[in-house]
Amino acid sequence: MANTKGVFTERTLKKVERILNGLSSGKYDYLCTACKSEGLSRTVFYDWRNTSADNKKKLYEVLDGARVVEAEDSLFELVRKGNVTALIFFLCNRVPYRWRRHDLPPPEIERPDRLPIHIVLDPTEDCGECVSK
């Protein structure tokens, strides 16, 4: 339990650590399941989370990390099943130099003096504006 100053017992902190490890490893899918399994009320867990910015950061890093891995696994499973949209997304983001969309013009970046800079993504492509040295 926590007192009014947000000081937690060693036992509570060990439970919090087990909850974070369980969420990170995939043992638990949801915070409520993790708290129930470890015998810690969600209220106490949220009190721990709210006592410092570091605690919040630690929790969200664990949750985001686990969710990204799950999303990547789901995407790759769709790729393996031959889902065309997933294939295109995967290839365009993993090897963009080989899988960029050729129906779109190359991106342009404006310099501070407002002169556009033409970027050639394919080194074999000659834009006609490049000066070779």
Residues 2, 9: Cα–Cα separation, whole Å:
7
Closest by CA to 72, choosing from 86, 82, 58, 88, is 86
pLDDT tens digits for range 5-59: 678 999 999 999 999 999 888 888 888 999 999 999 999 999 999 999 999 999 9
What are the residue ranges spanned by the domains of the chain?
1-133
Tokens coding 49: 């989370």
Residue 58 contacts residue 45 (beta carbons within 8 Å): no
Residues 14, 55: Cα–Cα separation, whole Å:
14
What is the pLDDT confidence band of residue 69, given thresholds at 50, 70 and 90? confident
Residues 49, 6: Cα–Cα separation, whole Å:
10
Residue 30 contacts residue 70 (beta carbons within 8 Å): no
pLDDT tens digits for range 37-49: 999 999 999 999 9
Question: Model's pTM, two decimal places?
Answer: 0.55
